[in-house]
Amino acid sequence: MDSSITVPRHLASLADLSPQETMGLLEVARELKDRWSRERRNLDLLSGRSLAMLFTKPSLRTRVSFELAMQQLGGHALYLSPAEVGLGQRESVADVARVLGRYADLIMARVYAHADVLALAAHAGVPVINGLSDLEHPCQALADLLTVLEVAGPLAGRHLAYVGDGNNVAHALLLGGAQCGMRVSIIHPPGYAPAASVMQSARAFAAQTGGAVLATTELAAADGAHVLYTDVWASMGQEAEAAGRRAVFMPYQLNQALVDRAAPDCLVLHCLPAHRGEEITDQVMDGPNSQVFAQAENRLHAQKALLAWLGGGLSLAGARVG
């Protein structure tokens, strides 16, 4: 390999980041959000740069937040639907990556299979961002951590209790929370634990930062938690399992009884879309502890930080924007 060729950084997983990089991204996101709130004007950090947004799974928040993030940084985003691309069907993932890498400066992919994100990263030659895969949702976790940091203060030592399926969102929270020195408890029905490989990686980060991670079936693990978090019980692609899962997961609903077990000023989070009356009640989602819509807003600002770093070369060490 030519030693002069720069290998791009990617975000396929939060495990691709160091704890210092994750905290740096959160600080840059706070500054970018503050600038936008005060000035309401676009920056030129990504002037002339383009983002190809590749979707095999639809999403309100992912599309809008990434598109507006590029606009507010001075760049341009292009939406590519499943019908236009047919990833791995009309042509191979590797060939799609090679083509898009010659057109765009960055690629964001929201897909079913995590292997597709890895294949895009291996062949694109430009930074690739995981907008969601079956293994992990790193952009969501960055927004979640930003929300806790804004509302509750420093993350180290905070207890986040996630209640529900040990899925891609749970995986990202384990990794990101551990990187920030948090205590992360995944409370799940029997048979729905997070992946052992993710738990292992999260434990390694926790050992560096003083955090802790736990997977358990016991709701008592939510006692005193500073953050309560849940997600849908049946994700996109699991519709056939929805009825069976509903019966299994109902004891793990995020309701007022669970909120009462947590810290009095606990934050309630949900990555959306929510199935109200299933994994979360209206009383809790619309209640005084809820930060669900602030959390949704923070997808925009956390992703701006990520794009400015990967696509614009913004340093995360004491970075100043503008």
How would you write the pLDDT of the chain (322 residues) with one tens digit per residue?
Answer: 344 457 899 999 999 999 999 999 999 999 999 999 999 999 999 999 999 999 999 999 999 999 999 999 999 999 999 888 888 888 999 999 999 999 999 999 999 999 999 999 999 999 999 999 999 999 999 999 999 999 999 999 999 999 999 999 999 999 999 999 999 999 999 999 999 999 999 999 999 999 999 999 999 999 999 999 999 998 767 777 888 899 999 999 999 999 999 999 999 999 999 999 999 999 999 999 999 999 999 999 999 999 999 999 898 875 555 5
- Assess whether 231 carries a catalytic annotation: yes
Q: What span, in angstroms and rounded, lies between the C-alpha atoms of 36 and 25?
A: 16
pLDDT at 322: 54
Total Cβ atoms within 10 A of residue 74:
16
- Assess whether 271 carries a catalytic annotation: yes
Q: What span, in angstroms and rounded, lies between the C-alpha atoms of 194 and 211?
A: 18
Coil/strand/helix, residue 6: coil
Sheet holding 106-110, edge to edge: 76-80, 50-55, 106-110, 128-132
Same fold, 14-137+299-312 and 138-295: yes
Q: What span, in angstroms and rounded, lies between the C-alpha atoms of 165 and 113?
A: 18
Catalytic residue among 61, 137, 245, 270: 137
pLDDT at 290: 98
**Amino acid at site 25:** L
- Assess whether 260 carries a catalytic annotation: no
- Assess whether 71 carries a catalytic annotation: no
DSSP-assigned beta bridge partners for residue 130: 109
pLDDT at 3: 43
Catalytic residue among 10, 61, 63, 110: 110
DSSP code of 4? T
- CA-closest candidate to residue 289, choices 315, 314, 258, 320: 258
Q: What span, in angstroms and rounded, lies between the C-alpha atoms of 209 and 157?
A: 10
- Cα angle 95, 100, 103; round to 5: 140
- Assess whether 35 carries a catalytic annotation: no
Catalytic residue among 61, 116, 139, 140: 140
Q: What span, in angstroms and rounded, lies between the C-alpha atoms of 285 and 98?
A: 43
Catalytic residue among 271, 291, 295, 301: 271
Would you kindly state where each structural domain of the chain is located, as residue ranges? Answer: 14-137+299-312, 138-295
Instruction: Work out the widest C-alpha separation in the chain, in whole angstroms.
Output: 60
Cα-based distances in Å from 57 to 63, 109, 140, 298: 10, 9, 15, 21
pLDDT at 2: 46
Tell me the pairing of strands 76-80 and 159-163. Answer: unpaired
Q: What span, in angstroms and rounded, lies between the C-alpha atoms of 269 and 253?
A: 13
pLDDT at 220: 98
Catalytic residue among 63, 159, 299, 301: 299
The answer to whether 70 and 302 have CB atoms below 8 angstroms apart is no
Question: Does CATH place domain 138-295 in 3.40.50.300?
Answer: no
54: Cα within 13 Å, side-chain hemisphere: 27
Q: 14-137+299-312, which class in CATH? A: alpha beta
- Assess whether 137 carries a catalytic annotation: yes
Catalytic residue among 165, 179, 231, 245: 231
The answer to whether 228 and 254 have CB atoms below 8 angstroms apart is yes
Distance, first Cα to last Cα, the chain:
36
Q: What span, in angstroms and rounded, lies between the C-alpha atoms of 230 and 191?
A: 17
Q: What span, in angstroms and rounded, lies between the C-alpha atoms of 322 and 320?
A: 7
